[in-house]
Structures are given as C-alpha cells and as structure tokens.
Amino acid sequence: MSASPGGERLVDHDADSEDRAVEAALRPRQLREFIGQERVRQQLDLVLRAARERGATADHVLLSGAPGLGKTTLSMIIAAEMGAPIRISSGPAIQHAGDLASILSSLQEGEVLFLDEIHRMSRPAEEMLYMAMEDFRVDVIVGKGPGATAIPLELPPFTLVGATTRAGLLPPPLRDRFGFTAHMEFYAPAELERVVHRSAGLLDVEVDPAGAAEIAGRSRGTPRIANRLLRRVRDYAQIKTDGAIGRETASRALEVYEVDERGLDRLDRAVLQALLKLFGGGPVGLSTLAVAVGEERETVEEVAEPFLVREGLLARTPRGRVATPAAWAHLGLTPPASQPGQPGLFGG
C-alpha cells in the first residue's frame, strides 16, 4: 500500500487503529444526532418507534454500504433507541456454528446482536442463524457421527443487526429474513460539512465554514474519512498556525498529506498518471498498470480503482482500464487525438 505520512492511507475507507480509538468519542448516540441518510433514518425511526410502542423487540435490520458510512454507529443507535443492551461480533469471528450457538444462547430478551461483515460467516453458522432469526430457536448438536443428536433450544426474542459492505454476497435466504434493509449511500458534501463541524466541536477544534467545506470536499463522501482528515488538519493547524481552521489552512494541510481537492491520494494519482502518461489513456491491462505503479494488482484493483471509477475518472472495460476525459482534465493533461484502430470510447 502507498504510505502517506501517517504510514497508512488517509483516504482509506477502513478504520485504522487511531480511528478506532477516537471513533467511540465521535459516534452519534441517538438517531436524531445521526447526520444525513434521511430516508434510512426516517424508516428506521418508524421501525423502532412502532416496536417500542408495541412493547416488542424490533425486527431484524440489515445495514449495507461501504466502509465508514455509519453502519456500526447505527447498530449502536438501534440498541440505544430500544433501551437494549448490545452484543457485538462479526462474521469472520464466527468460525463454527458452535461459536454462534454460544452467543445466541446467552442473549437476553430484547438484546441487539450486531454481526459485522455478516457476509463472511461460515455456511453452517449461516444456516443456524436462519432458524434463530425466524423461530428464535437453535438446534444444538451434541456428539459426533451417527450418534449425534440435535437438541432444540429456545431463544429469547432478540434483534439481529447485520452489517455488510457486500449485500450482493448474502445468500437470499439470509437476506430475506431481515424485516428491514437499509442501504447507506455516500454522503453529500453539505452533510459531511455538518459531520466536520460536529466532530470539531467534540474534539474542541475551531473550524470555520470554509475550512469545513474544504475538508468535506476531500472526504470521498465518507464520514470516517472526514473525521480522519479533520484530525490531520488539526495537527497541522496546531503546529503551523493559531486560531480557527479556515480554507487556506485546510487546503495547505491536506496538500502536505497528499490528498488533493477531489480526495485523490498519492496512489490514486499514480495510477491515473501511469494510465495517461505511459499508456496514452489505455486501454491497458490491470497487471501492466499495477507493475507500472509498483503495486500489487489487488491494491490497484481494490484500493485505488473503486473510487476512481465512482468519480468517473477511470473505466473498467473488457479490453482493459481506460481513462475518461475527466481524468485528463483532473491531471491537467491534454488527451491525444484518437488514433485509427483505437476508436474513442467516449465519443471522442
């Protein structure tokens, strides 16, 4: 992975160790504190309020969306709004059905069970979960081989909150057992500005509206990244300036950390630069492109490309990676006139 000054990519969507330490402090605790995601918030509010009014346990909820958009935060909010305790585990942590059985059998009535990365659970655990979700019952297998017997075990009603970055990977029988599915979208710049202001308040950092807008604009639609960039800008401001963070300070700070106006970092720009300067904008194969930037194929494909594709800077075509006109513009380069035998893919 390309190293930014912090040693880890500032614009990575996944949580690093510093994020995890501060995230707890920055998490909204109630639904009305949760910024953006209007539709999801409205729907969830109805689901939870109605359950509360009936004195019932809320239906199972599936949260899907890219890392850093607020899935873990929402799961905790669900528990808080229901006045229920929360148990946290994850798909990869549940290797055997027995691991799941022991979690399920120790749940209290009304408890929220949060399963992060639920798409990475093992098949036998998944099958046990179907039954638990639907009938609040599990079959505990005792013994091995032909002598094994299944002992049915009643569970108290609970609310499963599953989170996944890949809803498409969930087997339909599992997906169908959730009473409510919330798909979380990337945040609009104005929403991220509110996230920045809110976090600045909690971190006791002064940020003016232009400074918040500057940070928000480079945050890739992701609150986790907005919070991380804010902390780096705070460091810069603390050492180099005094007073509130304005546009100038924010943009200088983020230049130091090599995050550009659009949120691209060094790796993203290296990929685009290679594509444009070495391969005339493509098409070029992924492996060739990866060698050109000195990275693993997987890093280019999974770390850099999704954002470049989302931003309309790069396209994945059957013949290889292709730069869009916007990529040339972003790097301030002029695309070559299209050559014979290489028809313009974008009507150019």
Q: Which residues bind ligand ADP (CB under 6 A)?
A: 23, 26-28, 34-37, 67-73, 195, 223-224, 227
- Cβ of residue 41: shortest distance to ligand ADP, in angstroms? 8
- Cβ of residue 69: shortest distance to ligand ADP, in angstroms? 5
Report whether 224 belongs to an annotated binding site: yes
End-to-end CA distance of the chain: 34
Q: Which of the listed partners (Mg ion, ligand ADP, none) does 221 bind, with a CB threshold of 5 to 8 Å by partner kind?
A: none
The site for Mg ion (CB under 5 A) is made up of: 72
- Cβ of residue 221: shortest distance to ligand ADP, in angstroms? 11
Q: Which of the listed partners (ligand ADP, Mg ion, none) does 281 bind, with a CB threshold of 5 to 8 Å by partner kind?
A: none
Report whether 135 belongs to an annotated binding site: yes
Which strand (E) or helix (H) includes residue 152?
Answer: strand 149-154
Report whether 57 belongs to an annotated binding site: no
Nearer to Mg ion, 72 or 324 (CB): 72
Residue 66 DSSP one-character state: S
- Cβ of residue 231: shortest distance to ligand ADP, in angstroms? 11
Report whether 178 belongs to an annotated binding site: no
Pick from 77, 177, 83, 106: nearest CA to 135: 177
Which strand (E) or helix (H) includes residue 268?
Answer: helix 266-273
- Which residue has the closest beta carbon to ligand ADP? 70
Environment class of residue 219 by beta-carbon count within 10 Å: exposed (0-12), middle (13-18) or buried (19+)?
A: buried
Which strand (E) or helix (H) includes residue 61?
Answer: strand 61-64
- CB 43, CB 182: distance < 8 Å: yes
The distance from CA 216 to its chain's CA centroid, rounded to whole angstroms, is 16
- Cβ of residue 130: shortest distance to ligand ADP, in angstroms? 24
Nearer to ligand ADP, 76 or 314 (CB): 76
Nearer to ligand ADP, 175 or 231 (CB): 231
- CB 63, CB 180: distance < 8 Å: no
Nearer to ligand ADP, 155 or 161 (CB): 161
Report whether 321 belongs to an annotated binding site: yes
Cα-based distances in Å from 154 to 60, 92, 150, 199, 315: 18, 25, 13, 43, 51
- Active-site residues, by number, are 71-72, 116, 165, 224
Residue 13 to residue 10: CA distance in whole angstroms: 9
Residue 167 DSSP one-character state: G
Q: Is 342 helix (H, G, I), strand (E, B) or coil?
A: coil
Nearer to ligand ADP, 70 or 246 (CB): 70
Other Cβ atoms closer than 10 A to 243: 9
Nearer to ligand ADP, 33 or 134 (CB): 33
Q: Which of the listed partners (ligand ADP, Mg ion, none) does 34 bind, with a CB threshold of 5 to 8 Å by partner kind?
A: ligand ADP
Q: Which of the listed partners (Mg ion, ligand ADP, none) does 219 bind, with a CB threshold of 5 to 8 Å by partner kind?
A: none
Report whether 136 belongs to an annotated binding site: yes
Report whether 177 belongs to an annotated binding site: yes
Which strand (E) or helix (H) includes residue 100?
Answer: helix 97-105
Residue 75 to residue 160: CA distance in whole angstroms: 9
Binding annotation for DNA: 297, 316, 321
Binding annotation for ATP: 26-27, 68, 71-73, 134-136, 177, 187, 224
Binding annotation: 26-27, 68, 71-73, 134-136, 177, 187, 224, 297, 316, 321
